Structure 1
Amino acid sequence: MEMDPMLIEAAETGNINALHALIGDDPYILERIDQIPFVQTPLHVAANRGHIRFAMEMMNLKPSFAKKLNPLGFSPMHLAVIAGHTRLVLRLLKADKELVCVKGWGGLTPFHYVVTTGNCRLLVDFLEASPECIEDATVRDETAFHLALKENQIEAFSLLLGWLQRTRRTHGSVFTFEKKMANWEDDEGNTLLHIAATKKQHDAIKLLLDSQLWLHVKAKNSDGLTALKIIKDTNRQGVNINRNESDEVDTKIKQLKDKVILERIPVLVDRTRHSMSVDMINTMLVIMALVITATYQSSLSPPGGVWQDNGTDDTSSKSNITHLSNKSFANTSIWIFGNKTERAGTTVMNQQIYGVFWFLNLATFGFTELATVFLISSFHVFLFLAIPIYLLAVSYFCSMTILAPTIPWAYANLFFLVFFGLFPFLLFFSLLVFSKSIRQTIAEIRYRTRMRQALGMNLLGPGTLMFCSQYILDASFGVWMPSA
C-alpha cells in the first residue's frame, strides 16, 4: 500500500493545514498507514526534509510513527540524523528519549549513526538523554566504541571513553559495567585494542592503556592475534590521525576528553551507593547508629566499672590516688603513662580481659563508623555529619586511653588513634594482597609495558600512576562489591 500522494506532498512541503484537511476528509488515513509494519510514513518524509513543525504535529497525532522503519530500515530519527537536521533531532529527542535506541537494519540505532558521523555535540545530548544507548550493539556485536574506531572517529571515541569513566551506571559490582564495555568483542572476536591496532590508531590505543586498567591486553581475536602482535606486524609509518578540534568545542566535550584521575574515586563510590536500594540504606543507618551508641557507651562505662578514689593514703599499694579529672594536665599525664596500676578512673579489668574487650569493641566501632560515613557521603550536609563522627572517634580513643589499666595499653590506644587515620590505605593494601595474584599482576604490567614500548610511550607517567591507583581500587571494591 502506497501513501496518498496528497499526504506525501503535504509532508514534503511541511503544510500542516493540508494535513488537517486530509484527516478531515478521511479520518482513517493515518490509521491505515500505521497498520503496515515497514512503511514510509509522513513523519519519515518530514524528518528527511527537516520540517520541524510538521514532524512535531505528526508526533502529536501519531506517536507510533516515530518508531516505525521504512522499507530501507530507517526510522524518522535515523533520517533526521543522516540528513544533518540537528534541530529536528533535538526536538524528537525531547519528545521521546527512547527514539535514540530504535534499531534499524543491521541493528544500527540513531546513536550509532551520530557516532559514525563524529557529531560530538549531538553525541553528548544523546548520552545525557538516554545513557542506556551506550550498551546497544549491532547484529555484528559492535558497540558505539567499535563503530567510532572503524569509522576513524577518534574524537568521538575519546568522548565515549571519557563518558564511560565518569558514568555512575553499574551492573552488579562497581567495575562490572566498565569492564564489560572496555573488553567487548564483536562477532570476529575483535576488542577495541584489536581494531585500533589494525587501523593504526595509536592515539586510541594510548587512551585505552592510560585510562583502562581492566583491558584484556592478551586477548586474541578469531585469527589468534593479540593487539601487540598486530602492532608489531603492521607498518607504523605515516600514521596521521585527525584530531583537529574546533575553537568553539563545547565545554562538556572538553571535560569528557580529559584524562580521568581524581574523578574516579567519587564515581566509584557513587556506583556502589547506587547499587543499594533506599530501604537498604535507611535500614543500615539505623543499625549503624545503634551499634555506634552501644560501643561508645562501653568506652565510658566499661564492664565491671572503674577504680574509685576512696580518699585514703595507702603507701604500701598506691600513692596519692586521686581521680584523674581532678588533676592538672601534667599530673594526669604521669598518672596515665606511669607504671601505676589500679589508678582512679581506670578499668578494673585485668590486662588479658581488657585486651579481648579492647579488640572487639574497637573493631566494631571502627568498621561501623566507616560504614556510616560511606552511607551518608551522598547527602548535601555530609560535612556537618562527618565532622562530629570524626570527633566522636577521637573522643573514643581518648576515653580508651584513660581507661587503659597499664602503660602499654595506654600507648597502644594513642598509637591506634594515628592508625585510625591511615586505616583506609591499610585496608586497600590488605585487599590488594588477598584479592589478586601478585605474580599475575606483574606479568600483566610487563605485557602492558611492551605495548607502551611498541607505541613509543613513556614507561612512567600519569598512565602508570593511573594503572596502579585503579588496580588498588579494583582490588578493594571487587572484594566488597563482587560481581553478581
Structure 2
Amino acid sequence: MDPRLREAAETGNIDAFHDLIEDDPDILERVDQIAFVQTPLHVAANRGHISFAMEMMNLKPSFAKKLNPRGFSPMHLAVITGQNRLVLRLLKANKDLVCVKGWGGLTPFHYVVTTGNCRLLVDFLEASPECIEDVTVRDETAFHLALKENQIEAFNILIGWLQRTRRTHGSVFSFEKKMANWEDDDGNTLLHIAAKKKQRDALKLLLDSQLWLHVKAKDSEGLTALQILNDASRRGVNRNRNASEEVDTKIKQLTDKVIFERIRVVGDRTRHSMSVDMINTMLVIMALVITAIYTSSLSPPGGVWQENGSDDNTSKSNTISHVNHLSNKKFVNTSDIWIFGDKSERAGTTIMNQKIYGVFWFLNLATFGFTDLVTVFLLSSFHLFLILAIPLYMLIISYFCSMTILAPTIPWAYVNLFFMVLFGFFPFLLFFSLLVFSKSIRQTIDEIRYRNRMREALGMKFLGPGTLVFCSQYILDGIFGLWMPSA
C-alpha cells in the first residue's frame, strides 16, 4: 500500500485521502488487485476511524470483504479491537459482513461469541440470523466456541435464541435438533464439551431447555457426556470398534428388506413427479367430492321423517310420502323382514329403505374415505400439512355424527357411533403407533433413564421442566417427521 494512503487511513484524514485520489485515480484499484492485502479500510477499522471507514466503504465496497495477510476482514479487526460503534456502522451498511470467513473459517460473529460481547451478539443475531449456521474448518458452531472459551453468558443467549427462532430446515424441529446435537471434528457435541470443561450450569441449561439432545451420543473416544462427567475410565475403549459398529449398522439398514419405508418412498416419488398445477387441480376435485358426500350425510336422498302432529292433513301427507316414495318400496315383496331390524319412523331419521341405506352407507363411506386419503396424500407435501389436516379430521368425525343421527335403525346408529368414537381416539392410536415404529418403547424409556441419570449427577431435580415434557419428544418428532417431511 502507498505510504501516503496508509498515513491517511491511520489518521482518518479524509481530505488527504481525496487528494491522493485526485493525484492517482487508480490507487485503490492496485490495492484491490492483491488477493490478501491490508487495505485502508483495515487500517481505519483497526484505529476506529468511523468516517474514514464509511467513506472507504462508499468508494470501494469490495474492501469490506477482503482479508489481510493475517486472515482478518475489516469487520474482524473492528470486533477484535473493540470498536463497537464502527462495528454497528459496518453492520448497518452491509449485514453480510457478519458471515465473512477468515483464517480457520472464523467469522466476525464467531469472534463476538468468543470475546463474550453480548450486546454485539444480540445485534448480529437480529441483523443476520443465518450467521448461527456458520461453522469453522474444525466443524465448530458458535455454540461450541462459546463453551470452549468459557463464555457461558454468550452460550445462554445462543440457546435462548435457538428456542425462539422461527427458522426451520424442512420440518418444524429439524433446525433446533441439528444445532443442539452438532458434532465437531472430534465428535464432540455441546454436552461433551460442557462435561469435559465441568460447566455444570451449561449442562443444566441444555438438559432443561433442549428436548432433542442425543444424551447417549459418543465422542471420538467412545464416551458419552455422562461418562465424561463421572470421570469414567477411558481404558478399554476401542475407537475403531465403535466406528466399525456404526458402519455395520448402516450396512444392515441398507441390506434389510424394505417394507413400510418402501411405501413412503413410492409415495414421495409420486408426489415429486406431480406438477403444482396437477396437485392444485386434484385438490379442487377432491374438495368438491368431499363437499358433495358430506352434504348427502346432512340431507340423505328422500329426506327424513318429520315429527307427527295432530293435524290430519299433516298425517295424511306423511302417510302418502311413506307409501309412494320410491326409496321406501321393497324390492322383494315376499318378505317383510328388515335387514337391520324394524323400521322406527323416528323424527329426524332417514325414510330410506334400510336395504338401500346399507348400499348408500357403504358407497358414501368408500368415496368419502378414499377422497380423504387422496387429499391427505396431496397435502402431505406441504410443511403446514398438520395444520391443514386438522379441519379435515374434524369433518370426518362430524360426518359420522350426522350419519349416527340419521340412521334408520338402532343397529345402524351403533355402527356409525362406533366409527365416530374410533376416529375420536384415532390421534391417540396414531401417537402410540408413531412411538412404537419411530423409536421402540424400550429405547425411549432407556433414554429417559439416561437423561435422568445426568440430572442426578448434576444435582438437578428429577422432575425438572425439561423432564416433564420429555416423554412427548418422540411422539412429536415422529408426527412432524412423518407428516412434515424435509423439502
Do Structure 1 and Structure 2 share a fold, with TM-score over 0.5? yes
Task: After superposition, give the CA deviation of every residue in 1:162-214 in whole Å (9 maximum; x if it has no partner).
Answer: 22233233334333322222221111111111100011111111222223233
Amino acid at match of 1:475: G
2:36 aligned residue: 38
2:350 to 318, 328, 345: 345
RMSD of the TM alignment (CA)? 3.9
2:362 aligned residue: 356
For structure 2, the 5+ residue unaligned runs are 233-274, 307-315, 326-340
2:480 to 464, 473, 477: 477
1:217 aligned residue: 215
1:436 Cα deviation (Å)? 2.1
SS state at 1:217 partner? coil
Change in CA separation of 1:103 and 1:446 when aligned onto 2, cut-off 3 Å: same
For 1:223 and 1:289, the matched residues in 2 are separated by 56
Partners of 2:286 and 2:371 within 8 A in 1: no
Q: Percent identity?
A: 76
Amino acid at match of 1:83: T
SS state at 1:6 partner? helix
1:457 aligned residue: 460
Partners of 1:102 and 1:110 within 8 A in 2: yes
Amino acid at match of 2:455: R
TM-score, with structure 2 as normaliser = 0.73
Task: After superposition, give the CA deviation of every residue in 1:341-378 in whole Å (9 maximum; x if it has no partner).
Answer: 46663444536545534644664687769999998989
Amino acid at match of 1:448: R
Partners of 2:211 and 2:466 within 8 A in 1: no
1:305 Cα deviation (Å)? 4.7
2:165 aligned residue: 167
Listed as ranges, the matches of 1:51-200 within 5 Å are 51-200=49-198
1:438 Cα deviation (Å)? 0.9
The farther-off stretch of 144-153 and 79-88 is 79-88
1:74 Cα deviation (Å)? 0.5
For 1:199 and 1:105, the matched residues in 2 are separated by 25
Task: After superposition, give the CA deviation of every residue in 1:214-260 in whole Å (9 maximum; x if it has no partner).
Answer: 322222222222111111118xxxxxxxxxxxxxxxxxxxxxxxxxx
Partners of 1:77 and 1:89 within 8 A in 2: yes
1:115 Cα deviation (Å)? 0.8
Change in CA separation of 1:416 and 1:86 when aligned onto 2, cut-off 3 Å: farther
TM-score, with structure 1 as normaliser = 0.74
1:466 aligned residue: 469
Partners of 1:77 and 1:100 within 8 A in 2: yes
For 2:3 and 2:169, the matched residues in 1 are separated by 50
Listed as ranges, the matches of 1:82-481 within 5 Å are 82-233=80-231, 286=284, 289-302=287-300, 305-306=302-303, 311=317, 340-341=343-344, 345-348=350-353, 350=355, 352-353=358-359, 356-357=362-363, 359-360=365-366, 363=369, 396=399, 399-410=402-413, 413=416, 424=427, 427-481=430-484
Change in CA separation of 1:467 and 1:376 when aligned onto 2, cut-off 3 Å: closer
Aligned residue pair count: 415
Change in CA separation of 1:347 and 1:231 when aligned onto 2, cut-off 3 Å: farther
SS state at 2:230 partner? helix
For 2:116 and 2:175, the matched residues in 1 are separated by 24
Q: Which has the larger radius of gyration?
A: 2
Partners of 2:64 and 2:74 within 8 A in 1: yes
1:39 Cα deviation (Å)? 0.5
SS state at 2:471 partner? helix
1:65 Cα deviation (Å)? 0.3
Partners of 2:217 and 2:224 within 8 A in 1: yes
1:40 Cα deviation (Å)? 0.6
For structure 1, the 5+ residue unaligned runs are 235-276, 322-337
The farther-off stretch of 112-121 and 291-300 is 291-300
For 1:420 and 1:374, the matched residues in 2 are separated by 23
